[in-house]
Structure 1
């Protein structure tokens, strides 16, 4: 019961009145109430779906491998992030990969997966052809890009990382790029305000995030400045790439404490915990660490599983956290070659996969078998999300939401 009390904010009480087609209560009926999806967003970067959904001449063996991988994803997760890095999405101006990404997003949506696009504005992996434009033309192109993507994907992707890593954006000096140029002109708060205003104009009902790896006071100052300037931020994205070691409970709770005071939902938007050796602590830019081989080992896989269990438990208990996205689902093609996936390269699950599967589908899941009373009613506590009621081999769906009416009539 201790865990249930700690998770009371993730649950609600629900009363179902079961009736027949003529409205008469169905008394003494044996029923099963089964949760089929969470309100909380348990996510992963799932770029492989682009190849599977589009096929694109892939061999039958390759497609079978991808299908196996995605089935394991679907068994655990209800939220997926797709890549909209401008340089890859539109390497040649006027020729975006809209069809391929739309097909992938629809594939996920059809399987009850919430989809987020990442990102709309970022100085890294941005379109190289921006360098041929004036700063005004770059800004106009960025606005046009936001308008195009939010229009083309409306109803399929309605959640976006609007702007990524703004803290470093105007002082980024590794290479010249169009977005840093306009960030210098507009300033940090200025560029965030412009991008959010355009996104909100095009899709007023979308969920818009600011996102950053910088969890220092600089990110807090930026968010505070944006909110003071009226920027309509819906959620704060916090990256937690832990290639150099797990943050641990103390740092995690300290970050939660500092960013929760804004009163906005928190998304742990890019989480990484490896099942291999740790990156040396002196590496400042994770991209600078290049090794030929970064193996996953049984010892480190057990460590990863323990860290996943603790981190997810801490975050799920925090009332303002609404989403956790692991950045890597599989070691196959993982960023930096790091063994940070829940699956090994051959699609076999690591202990971390089994741990997370148990948390999401068992410990934090509601399935109840019971009997309706003389009035056809049953009352129960359940985790927030989507349910199906099964009675006499018939099914009917309903939801448990926090601020809903307690009683609901269902017809079988």
Structure 2
């Protein structure tokens, strides 16, 4: 018996090592990706003049997924010079979607906003140039507000200010099609939330549910054609499911249900079954599901929230004294981060209800709560996790074709939903073209070549 103990004991220790990731089974994931993320497409080629030669060499390449692989741009605002440019360069190597922090405290209409306005304008111009889709985060929240809002006494005036603020964001940035409407809607009265007049206004409107209905109805009166989403830090909270169910029953116009997953302590690291079951639980509501804020650290995780809070209190004190207190990235946890994210992204990408995954911090520099929660080190060099996601998104989940074809025939291929570029070489003349394929594409794609 003692020999059996010696054999089992090290295995138990190994399996409990928080820096070790046991690979997920991912049963059926590859088949689901093939079924739900790809489609058969027929291309018809229309040449400007009749071409006698019928053989051509065709090349087609996916350049942008329809699925949104995102990063939170909250760190970018503090980047300067070469670091700013390198951050965007790294982002562009892998991702096609960015969440831009537009908290009321940053966009305060009563303060001088020239610097932040220029930042937003620059980001939008760069995103358009690089075919990056944007989400504004958020239109409204019970945190991250200026003091004149937090301590407002006249609730009628506050309501006017709330609606003016949301309208201003939607109309000032028409290039942004996705918006988190009210961030963390079932959270205003949680014990850890500091007081603000937003809470008073919610009570003034009759509580969370009627206040949220009014907010959603208002933003839709401003522009009903945006992709409006709900978002919360704890999707396992039954109140969050209830409020989304209520929105559906009230027939509110919103497209997506957002889920955060900041895995900074061992008890918050989601298992394969927890991830899948959470998606399935919300999929019955018939909305797109977005993983809006994902953190998987390469620093040592805390055991639980209590341990984490103790660290955060010490870190806050250190920052008040002008000293940084960040957790270092560790090699064994870098391995965990890379292997865990490979499985997490594969599983989530395979579910047809999910439309986006946003990793919250691209880099460890200025990472949230001082964790090594980025895919890049502080100097913006890649970690294993960055290279892992790059290989998945840009190499494994891609479509690239090079074939000789008869140009008088249609060409059929199976590929991922997204934007494509292509070319045909016929009789020493090169014809270039582009096209897009999504779930709403119906019938052949007719290409007029010039």
Which residue number corresponds to residue 280 of structure 1?
Answer: 303
Mapping of 1:8-407 within 5 angstroms? 8-22=35-49, 27-50=54-77, 62-90=80-108, 92=110, 97-130=116-149, 131-154=151-174, 156-171=175-190, 174-186=193-205, 187-215=207-235, 216-245=237-266, 246-283=269-306, 289-290=312-313, 291=315, 292-373=325-406, 375-392=408-425, 393-407=430-444
Task: State the Cα deviation string for residues 211-234 of structure 1 (Å, max 9, x = none).
Answer: 101212111111112222232221
Q: Summarize the Cα distance change of 1:223–1:180 in structure 2 as closer, same or farther, 3 Å threshold.
A: same
Matched residues, number:
401
RMSD over aligned CA atoms reads 2.2
Partner SS state of residue 296, structure 1 = coil
| TM-score for both structures, normalised by structure 2 | 0.84
Gaps of 5+ in 2: 1-27, 316-324
Bigger Rg over Cα: 2
Contact persistence 2:420–2:435 (CA under 8 A): yes
C-alpha contact (below 8 Å) 2:43/2:410 kept by paired residues: yes
Give the Cα separation in 1 of the matches to 2:65 and 2:437: 10
Preserved contact between residue 192 and residue 231 of structure 1 (Cα < 8 Å): no
Distance 2:276 2:147 in 1: 39
Q: In the superposition, relative to structure 1, how do residues 26 and 385 fare at CA in structure 2: closer, same or farther (>3 Å)?
A: farther
Q: Distance in 2 between matches of 1:157 and 1:185?
A: 31
Residue 23 of structure 1: how far off its partner (Å): 5.9
CA separation of 1:203 and 1:78: change in aligned 2, threshold 3 A: same
Query: Match for residue 408 of structure 1?
Result: 445
TM-score (norm 1): 0.91
User: Closer, same or farther in 2 for the Cα pair 1:308/1:190, shift >3 Å?
Assistant: same
Sort the Cα spacing of 1:94 and 1:293 in 2 relative to 1 into closer, same or farther, 3 A: closer
* CA offset digits 1:282-306 (Å, max 9, x no partner): 4398697244230101110000001
- Larger mean CA deviation between 139-148 and 402-411 belongs to 402-411
User: Residue in 2 aligned with 1:57?
Assistant: none
Distance 2:85 2:412 in 1: 39
Segment drifting more, 9-18 vs 170-179: 170-179
Match for residue 4 of structure 2?
A: none
Deviations 1:30-52 (A, max 9, x none): 11110000000000002354466
Post-superposition shift, 1:281? 0.5
Q: 1:85 to 1:25 in 2, by over 3 A?
A: farther
Q: Secondary structure at the match of 2:306?
A: coil
